[in-house]
């Protein structure tokens, strides 16, 4: 790869006079100097990006929320991600433990999913996602985690720090934590028959600890109990036209939002319509043996007043279509069956297919595809 050729700098500004305002020269665009080329990021004709689109809030965390955001950004610029803050492993866990801050990892992933499609945004997305690899203390730390925490310390404001990173990336939307304090997850895990301790239940605390235990989570609790929500997140839910839950790790990314009282109340009282996106597979160690319908029904235990309008599911991975339909109807929802999985068959959502499904849900186009 050849080094980019340096360009001559801009001409110097003329000397100001007493009869004219000083001339201001725009800063040169740094991207050509970095050897970056424009990318073709056009959308297929089946997905249209409106000038603004409806205000939409996406609740979740991790890779599931990132998939949702990559899809929704094709439909609206008024997009708010409300992100779980219970991670206690890896880089996030180290920073949380040493500095007492919110775990930044899921927030970083959401910011990266919403970055501008231009060279500047894509460059900074890669910077945020870059991880160090060494034999020292920096091993496995993500640059974005360090940047986010640094801004929190400098600004003394969690939301302002995230907004600052958002401006740096030119993100389409906003990223907010669901709670103002770091949370812990405590889970009751049903052990499999083959477990060394035999069948039964075990109560574990800590998201990473619960996730590593073989079995199926039956119930979770948050600590501190009744944690404070971030006011901007509550306001976003109340003012949205659509609120989207899932996909994602069911008990560590989706359900926790329903256990924050202010968020749960806003979700119940908002005039927004609510869409639930079902996972493409059960998650080992968390939802072992659960069907798509089981995922939906499990929400009733943690949010008995929850109402849904649409449940989005890929018919190619749903075990019993009628059972899922019945489970959705118990929440007042219809099921929108759409092919949303990537073409290679792995359990990952395709952003454009998922965007088309959300578009149909928002527009009320409910005819089944692929059923």
pLDDT of 5-27, one tens digit each?
A: 444 444 444 444 333 343 344 43
List pLDDT tens digits, range 36-52. 333 333 333 444 445 68
List pLDDT tens digits, range 250-289. 999 999 999 999 999 999 999 999 999 999 998 887 888 8
In three-state secondary structure terms, 341 is strand
Of all residues in the chain, the percent with pLDDT exceeding 70 is: 83
DSSP 205-222: ESHHHHHHSSSEEEEEEE
Question: What are phi and psi for residue 330, nearest 5 degrees?
Answer: -65, -20
Q: Name the most confidently modeled range: 1-5, 55-59, 189-193, 304-308.
A: 55-59
CB 82 within 8 A of CB 57: yes
Task: Taking each helix axis as running N to C, give the angle between helix 62-72 and helix 105-113, from 0 to 180 degrees, rounded to the nearest 10.
Answer: 20
Q: What is the pLDDT of residue 289?
A: 86
CA distance 105 to 128: 10
0.85 cut: is pTM over it? no
List pLDDT tens digits, range 291-342. 999 999 999 888 999 999 999 999 999 989 999 999 999 999 999 999 999 9
For residue 3, what are the CA distances in angstroms to 32, 33, 39, 264? 11, 9, 20, 54
Question: What are phi and psi for residue 242, nearest 5 degrees?
Answer: -140, 140
List pLDDT tens digits, range 87-99. 998 999 999 999 9
CA distance 62 to 334: 26
CA distance 55 to 241: 6
Q: What is the pLDDT of residue 39?
A: 31
Answer yes or no: is pLDDT of 211 > 50.
yes
Question: What's the rounded mean pLDDT across residues 158-170?
Answer: 95
Q: What is the pLDDT of residue 326?
A: 97
Domains observed in the chain: 61-77+226-365 (3.40.50.10680), 85-177 (no CATH), 184-223 (no CATH)
Q: How high does pLDDT run on average in the chain?
A: 85
């Amino acid at each position: 790869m050849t080094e980019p050729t340096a360009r001559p700098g801009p001409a110097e500004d003329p000397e100001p006079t007493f009869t004219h305002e000083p001339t201001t020269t725009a800063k040169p665009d740094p991207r050509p100097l970095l050897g970056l080329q424009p990318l073709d990021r056009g959308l297929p004709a089946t997905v249209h990006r409106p000038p603004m689109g409806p205000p939409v809030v996406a609740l979740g965390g991790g890779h599931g929320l990132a998939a949702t955001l990559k899809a929704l950004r094709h439909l609206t610029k008024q997009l708010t991600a409300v992100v779980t803050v219970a991670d206690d492993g890896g880089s996030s866990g180290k920073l949380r433990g040493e500095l007492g801050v919110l775990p930044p990892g899921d927030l970083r992933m959401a910011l990266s999913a919403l970055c501008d499609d231009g060279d500047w945004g894509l460059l900074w997305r890669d910077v945020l996602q870059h991880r160090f690899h060494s034999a020292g203390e920096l091993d496995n730390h993500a640059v974005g985690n360090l940047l986010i925490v640094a801004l929190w310390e400098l600004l003394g404001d969690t939301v302002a720090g995230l907004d600052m990173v958002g401006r740096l990336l030119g993100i389409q939307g906003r990223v907010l934590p669901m709670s103002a304090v770091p949370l812990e997850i405590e889970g009751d895990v049903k052990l499999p028959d083959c477990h060394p301790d035999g069948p039964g239940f075990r109560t574990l605390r800590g998201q990473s600890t619960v996730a590593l235990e073989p079995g199926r989570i039956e119930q979770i609790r948050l600590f501190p109990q009744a944690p404070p929500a971030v006011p901007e997140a509550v306001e976003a839910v109340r003012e949205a036209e659509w609120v989207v839950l899932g996909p994602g790790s069911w008990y560590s990314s989706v359900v926790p939002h329903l256990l924050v009282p202010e968020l749960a109340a806003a979700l119940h009282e908002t005039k927004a319509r609510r869409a639930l996106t079902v996972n493409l597979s059960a998650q080992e160690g968390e939802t072992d043996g659960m069907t798509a319908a089981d995922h939906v029904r499990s929400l009733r235990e943690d949010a008995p007043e929850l109402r849904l309008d649409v449940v989005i599911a890929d018919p190619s991975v749903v075990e019993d279509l009628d059972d899922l339909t019945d489970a959705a109807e118990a929440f007042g929802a219809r099921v929108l069956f759409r092919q949303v999985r990537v073409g290679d068959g792995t359990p990952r959502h395709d952003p454009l297919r998922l965007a088309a499904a959300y578009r149909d849900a928002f527009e009320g186009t409910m005819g089944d595809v692929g059923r």
